[in-house]
Amino acid sequence: MANSKSFLEGLVAAHDLEGFADVFWNLGQLVAWVETRSPFPVDALSDSTSRLAKRDHSMPPGLPHFASEVAQRSADEHGLAVVKSPFNSIDQVRTTVLRAFQAGSLVASGQRLGSFEREVISQIEWVDLTLDDNLEGNMTVRHREGFRPAWTDVRVKSADVLALFPAPEAQSGQVRISSTRRGRAPKYDWDDAMSYALQLMDQRGDFQDPKNAVAGWRKQADLMALVIEYMSKHNGGEEPSESQVKAHLSDTLHKWRTGRK
């Protein structure tokens, strides 16, 4: 029986999970791996190159919130068993990651707010930092008493992460050889979909503004529903998952709102 390392290497190679092989992982990849121990969401969250960040299944690195959903969907598609997470909530995952930084078990580097220089984030500084979401829902590193990100583009060596949080031992039930593999997931034109979303925002205004609130245009879920309907019409009835659409909309809406300040 293959051990965990060779099993993981075989899985990554078989499914061409190029993003998982990044030498340095972003914070989203780190959190996704600690939570799921699945290489699929780690691959999807890769932004080490612009090409990897713009694949059909890519997710913004600040949105590891859907890692478990991606891991489950990928396991179902490829006939794999899902490893049960030892955590009861995403807060527990982030706390575990934060304590690893504070203990020096993991070493991260990043850019201080307002600086373009990359530097190591010291253990003692991690005592005053926290991992939580900004108003757009993206995970950030900020000071406990602050509101703006303290560090951006935080990276950690993937080898260090895998050593501290190794893949579970491969069990015979983790690969169901007899499973029927589904066809390739449909490819979506995300640039076109986000252009449609921007068109809606320009025409109707921000749904967060009470003066624009009307039936069917009161929250992000309303925009998501319209985008999914649009994509379905242009993809032969195939629809992306809500998590995929939400991941792409998060960055699109942030840029749209920032451009109007």
Q: Give pLDDT tens digits for 7-48.
A: 888 889 988 999 999 999 999 999 999 999 999 999 999 999
CA–CA distance, 24 with 47 (Å, rounded to integer): 10
E strand or H helix that includes residue 151: strand 149-157
Q: Look at the chain and report how many structural domains it folds into.
A: 2
Q: Please, are residues 249 and 223 in contact by the beta-carbon 8 Å criterion?
A: yes
Residues 124 and 209 in one domain: no
Sign of CA dihedral 93, 140, 61, 202: positive
Lowest mean pLDDT among 1-15, 147-161, 231-245: 1-15
Residues 169 and 232 in one domain: no
SS3 state at 168: coil
Q: Last residue of some domain: 124, 154, 183? A: 183
Residues 7 and 131 in one domain: yes
Torsion angles phi and psi, residue 156, rounded to 5: -145, 150
- Residue 38 class from Cβ within 10 Å (0-12 exposed, 13-18 middle, 19+ buried)? buried
**What is the signed CA dihedral for 101, 107, 108, 109, rounded to 10 degrees?**
140
Residues 175 and 210 in one domain: no
Residue 80: count other Cβ atoms within 10 Å of its Cβ.
20
CA atoms within 13 A on the CB side of 233: 9
- Residues in a beta bridge with 52: none
Residues 125 and 88 in one domain: yes
Q: For residue 7, what are its two tokens? A: 């099993």
Lowest mean pLDDT among 63-67, 80-84, 201-205: 80-84
Determine the distance from the C-alpha atom of residue 10 to the mean position of all C-alpha atoms in its chain, rounded to a whole number. Answer: 23
Residues 113 and 53 in one domain: yes
CA–CA distance, 121 with 98 (Å, rounded to integer): 12
Please state, rounded to an integer, the average pLDDT across all residues of the chain: 86
Q: pLDDT category, 250, cuts 50, 70, 90?
A: confident
Residues 55 and 136 in one domain: yes
Using alpha carbons, select from 161, 167, 193, 206 the residue that is nearest to residue 80. 167
- Residues in a beta bridge with 217: 214
**Looking at residue 27, what is its pLDDT?**
96
Residues 142 and 116 in one domain: yes
**Global pTM exceeds 0.85:** no
Q: pLDDT category, 240, cuts 50, 70, 90?
A: confident
Q: Please, are residues 122 and 141 in contact by the beta-carbon 8 Å criterion?
A: no
Residues 77 and 175 in one domain: yes
Q: For residue 27, what are its two tokens? A: 């914070």
Residues 211 and 179 in one domain: no
CA dist 248 → 57, 138, 181 (Å): 10, 12, 27
149-177 mean pLDDT = 79
Residues 90 and 4 in one domain: yes
State yes or no: pLDDT of 66 exceeds 60.
yes
Residues 104 and 33 in one domain: yes
**Looking at residue 186, what is its pLDDT?**
57
Q: Last residue of some domain: 149, 183, 217? A: 183
102-110 mean pLDDT = 97
Task: Supply the range of the domain harboring residue 241.
Answer: 190-258
Q: Last residue of some domain: 158, 183, 208? A: 183
**Looking at residue 170, what is its pLDDT?**
52
